[in-house]
Amino acid sequence: MIKKLFHIIFALIFSAAFSALVVAAFYYAYKHFYRINILSLNTYRNIAAYWNTGATLTGNDLLMLFGIFSLVPINLLGWWFIYRCKYTNLLTGPLAWLNNIGAKDYRAPDINIKNLKVEEKKSLEQLVNERLEQEKKKAHLVEVGRFRQDIINQIEKRHN
């Protein structure tokens, strides 16, 4: 019960912040494009008087009215989305998104620690044989004997 109440309180706080952000965005957009204050009651009285005098509405006027009427559904949709989210996702979501921007390209495969084996020390002959088996799988070279001798010399230099 406390967990549910905690979730509702967080949803209310984030919903209020979301509503303030949406209203501020609409306010500045309408101030910039239409030069009207959508928070003033006088603006809506002027729109109603303009409509009641029988004026024809242009496409720009209809777009303005559509934007004003879409303010409520946008807020309701945002509130529904915020309520459906877990509050931890609301708090850490932006940080996780920023973290994943650069990390997508550098993801490493998961490592299972239980399956890691400790390799025993190998003798020189075992190292040479393993290396020769690896090289046999590759394309054969013309000077195979010399190539094998070079491998043996390189391994001997590393161990000395």
User: Over the chain (160 residues), what is each successive 10-residue block's mean pLDDT?
Assistant: 81 90 93 89 88 84 87 92 77 76 66 61 77 70 65 79
One domain for residues 131 and 58: no
One domain for residues 28 and 97: yes
Range of the domain at 147: 123-159
What is the predicted pLDDT for the residue at 149? 75
What is the predicted pLDDT for the residue at 103? 67
Please, where are the H alpha helices in the chain?
Answer: 2-33, 41-52, 59-69, 71-84, 87-103, 124-137, 144-159
Distance, CA of 29 to CA of 90 (rounded, Å): 26
One domain for residues 97 and 72: yes
One domain for residues 142 and 64: no
Taking CB atoms within 8 Å and a gap of at least 24, the contacts of 129-133 are 131/155
Distance, CA of 156 to CA of 160 (rounded, Å): 6
What is the predicted pLDDT for the residue at 114? 62
Q: Which amino acid is at 71?
A: L
Opening angle at CA 113, ends 109 and 118, nearest 5: 115
What is the predicted pLDDT for the residue at 31? 92
What is the predicted pLDDT for the residue at 116? 58
| Burial tier of 74 (Cβ tally within 10 Å: 0-12, 13-18, 19+) | middle
Whole-model pTM: value is 0.52
Q: How many domains, in total, are found in the chain?
A: 2
Does any domain span residue 116?
Answer: no
Does any domain span residue 115?
Answer: no
What is Dmax (Cα atoms) for the chain? 102
For tokens 């650069």, what's the residue?
Answer: 102
One domain for residues 40 and 80: yes
One domain for residues 26 and 95: yes
One domain for residues 14 and 73: yes
Opening angle at CA 151, ends 148 and 155, nearest 5: 145
One domain for residues 65 and 144: no
